[in-house]
Amino acid sequence: MDCIKNDWLTDNAIAFWEEWLEHEELKTYSKAQIVLLRPSMSFMLMTTKHPSTIKDALPQFDKTTHIFLPINDSTNPAISEGGSHWSLLLVSLLDGVAFHYDSLDHSNRREAQTVTSKLQSLLGMQLRFKEMDSCPQQANGSDCGVYVCLIMRHLLLKRLLQADSRARVPMTLSSREINPSYGRKEMLKIIESLRREGEKRRS
């Protein structure tokens, strides 16, 4: 997890964040039907020619209301931890809309649209792609993954889990500020806390 200190976040770092959100936040909302898809699954969905062939590897979406998908601009499945930019796709199955949050203008627009198209095919439903121009913008070339993690948490905790499970939720991030330095420190604190907790259990 050294990348969390000051580098580009890897698939594993973002997957860790999603798992932490599931265990520490989502588990307290038993009625929530929200899926945090791992980066590897999102990438698999983007690169497969026939989405139906990976259906068994993905979660069941029958009762799902929203899906969070980290989007990577890598195009080569053979390269582990590839790509150079992360963005976030939040798909509302209630509204039939795929909201794309990109902290580097519209850099991952093509990749996000591809995933949206593949998801349409997999789910058998129409999804309208919407680029969220209100997304806060990063100031360097390495904070994109941190933006994905913090925006994901904000949308999950402050929007989706605060609303009625079947209600429409405003997805704009107007006036929302992101502090990537603080975000990195918070992630490291969480990891350290989990490490200490693990040591106590083993002692």
Please pick, among 11, 73, 144, 149, the residue that the annotation labels catalytic.
144
Please pick, among 85, 100, 143, 149, the residue that the annotation labels catalytic.
85
Q: What is the pLDDT of residue 1?
A: 67
Q: What is the pLDDT of residue 186?
A: 96
Q: At 172, give phi and psi (nearest 5°).
A: -70, 150
Residue 85 bears catalytic tag: yes
Residue 102 bears catalytic tag: yes
Dist CA 161 CA 111 (whole Å): 27
Please pick, among 102, 135, 143, 149, the residue that the annotation labels catalytic.
102
Residue 115: pLDDT above 90?
yes
Dist CA 172 CA 140 (whole Å): 23
Dist CA 173 CA 177 (whole Å): 9
Query: Which residue ranges form the domains of the chain, and what is each CATH number?
Result: 3-198 (3.40.395.10)
pLDDT digits (tens, 9 = 90+) for 26-71: 999 988 999 999 999 999 999 999 999 999 999 999 999 999 999 9
Please say whether the beta carbons of 31 and 108 come within 8 A: no
Residue 144 bears catalytic tag: yes
Euclidean distance between the first and the last CA atom of the chain, given in angstroms as a whole number: 24
In a 3-state reduction of DSSP, which class is residue 36?
strand
Residue 77: pLDDT above 90?
no
